[in-house]
């Protein structure tokens, strides 16, 4: 039995591919296809939509090391496209039959979808066809450079110092306080916080290893308050063989994101901060905004947050109203006023409207 091995982006088994992933990119039983087709490429033979998606998802999971949530979201997007095409055509087409017009029509069919949602789905489809091109299954990418809906860039909002302190004071359980202080003082994502293990902690040197998106790792400093809160929590941590820092009281299993949401909601009620739109990601915004406000350069903030693109971090430059007002106030001397008085920072209670959390604000993409 002969086989046709497809190119695998130039990476051998020792460079990131598992044996199962390699097997997924091999076309077996080539002899049954016919001798006249032995020299033909996989593009000419065609691969079914379902098989292509299966290999794409395996590629994201095993080679690209995408998070389970991202892999799941891509899978949902590809199933939605499949359903749309099947309803329109009466069958599921092979990938090389899908045209640019079909993909645009799919986007139009998603009535009511937020611009960011549509952009993400288009990006998923484009990545799918890019993968097929790399693997030799397709010669073009019909999803490349599609017309994209405009997306507004909302200015991140954050908690005031008083709100943050009230939230910490209302955390009446050791693990509540440890997690809230950790989120506020490191700016890590909710998923990154629940993934921390005891081995990641270096309390003697006040730092923690964070595993971010795409398997990227970074070391984040811990404040004195964070170290103290973690040390106070550890004696109360459920005895378990699991090495995660935050584990459930019953069973000692790692806590999940929804548990963090429930904990934060309980603490918010006790702090009297309901209706402020406070979420785990809002604590991340608070961390970044306060660093910018206190003169930390944007590149350092980018590294602490684990942002791949500095433009994502640059949003916090626009949210720092206090610093901008103090800077502009220095022009009063030029205009005949008192520059010293105008340059004074705004009192902590006098926060301008674009710094206050919006009620019911959705969690931004991490």
Give the pLDDT score at 326. Answer: 63
Give the pLDDT score at 212. Answer: 84
Give the pLDDT score at 133. Answer: 95
Catalytic residue among 74, 137, 176, 316: 316
Give the pLDDT score at 13. Answer: 38
357 falls in which pLDDT band (50, 70, 90)? Answer: very low
Whether pLDDT at 95 is above 90 = yes
Going from the C-alpha of 125 to that of each of 91, 146, 220, the distances in angstroms are: 19, 11, 34
* CATH of region 161-355, choose from 3.40.50.300, 1.10.287.610, 1.10.443.10, 1.10.10.10: 1.10.443.10
290 falls in which pLDDT band (50, 70, 90)? Answer: confident
Nearest CA among 246, 365, 259, 229 for reference residue 305: 365
Give the pLDDT score at 82. Answer: 97
Going from the C-alpha of 328 to that of each of 40, 131, 285, 314, 345, the distances in angstroms are: 68, 50, 24, 20, 11
Give the pLDDT score at 153. Answer: 65
Q: For the chain, what percent of residues have pLDDT higher than 70?
A: 72
Is 285 tagged catalytic? no
Is 318 tagged catalytic? no
Catalytic residue among 281, 282, 290, 322: 281
For 174-185, how does the pLDDT look when each residue is reduced to its tens digit (9 = 90+)? 999 999 999 999
The overall average pLDDT reported for the chain is 79
For 255-277, how does the pLDDT look when each residue is reduced to its tens digit (9 = 90+)? 999 999 999 999 999 999 998 88
Is 282 tagged catalytic? no
Is 258 tagged catalytic? no
Catalytic residue among 120, 213, 218, 270: 213
Q: Which residue has the higher pLDDT, 40 or 2?
A: 40
Burial 93-132 (b: 16+ CB within 10 A, else e): bbbbebeeebbeebbeeeeeeeeeebbbbbebbbbbbebb
Catalytic residue among 61, 307, 315, 322: 307
Going from the C-alpha of 311 to that of each of 124, 215, 315, the distances in angstroms are: 21, 21, 7
Is 213 tagged catalytic? yes
Whether pLDDT at 236 is above 80 = yes
Q: Any residues with CB less than 8 A from the CB of 240 and at least 6 apart, and which? A: 247, 251, 252, 253
Catalytic residue among 121, 177, 189, 290: 189
For 306-356, how does the pLDDT look when each residue is reduced to its tens digit (9 = 90+)? 887 777 777 666 655 566 666 566 666 566 655 444 444 433 333 333 333
CATH 1.10.443.10 range(s) for the chain read 161-355
**Global confidence as pTM:** 0.60
């Amino acid at each position: 039995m002969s086989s046709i091995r497809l190119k695998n982006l130039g990476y051998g088994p020792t460079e990131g591919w598992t044996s199962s992933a390699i097997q997924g990119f091999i076309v077996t039983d080539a002899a049954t296809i016919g001798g006249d087709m032995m020299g033909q490429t996989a593009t000419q033979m065609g691969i079914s939509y379902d098989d292509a998606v299966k290999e794409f998802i395996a590629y994201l999971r095993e080679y690209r090391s995408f998070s389970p949530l991202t892999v799941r979201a891509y899978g949902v997007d590809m199933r939605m496209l499949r359903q749309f095409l099947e309803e329109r055509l009466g069958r599921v087409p092979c990938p090389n039959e899908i045209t640019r017009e079909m993909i645009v029509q799919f986007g139009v069919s998603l009535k009511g979808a937020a611009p960011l949602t549509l952009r993400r789905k288009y990006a998923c489809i484009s990545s799918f066809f890019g993968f097929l091109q790399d693997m030799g299954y397709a010669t073009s990418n019909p999803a490349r450079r599609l017309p994209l809906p405009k997306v507004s860039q909302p200015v991140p909002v954050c908690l005031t110092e008083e709100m943050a302190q009230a939230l910490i004071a209302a955390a009446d359980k050791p693990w509540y306080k440890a997690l809230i202080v950790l989120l506020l003082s490191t700016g890590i994502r909710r998923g990154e916080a629940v993934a921390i293990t005891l081995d990641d902690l270096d309390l003697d040197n006040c730092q923690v290893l964070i595993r971010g998106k795409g398997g990227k790792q970074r070391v984040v400093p811990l404040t004195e308050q964070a170290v103290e809160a973690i040390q106070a929590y550890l004696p109360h941590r459920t005895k378990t063989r699991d090495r995660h820092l935050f584990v459930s009281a019953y069973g000692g299993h790692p806590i999940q994101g929804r548990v963090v949401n429930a904990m934060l909601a309980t603490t918010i009620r006790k702090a009297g901060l309901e209706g402020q739109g406070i979420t785990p990601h809002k604590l991340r915004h608070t961390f970044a905004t306060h660093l910018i406000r206190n003169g930390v350069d944007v590149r350092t903030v980018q590294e602490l947050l684990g942002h791949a693109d500095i433009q994502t971090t640059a949003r916090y430059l626009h949210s720092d109203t206090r610093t901008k007002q103090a800077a502009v106030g220095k022009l009063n001397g030029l205009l005949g006023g008192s520059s010293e008085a105008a340059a004074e920072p705004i009192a902590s209670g006098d926060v301008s409207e674009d710094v206050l959390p919006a009620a019911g604000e959705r969690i931004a993409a991490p």
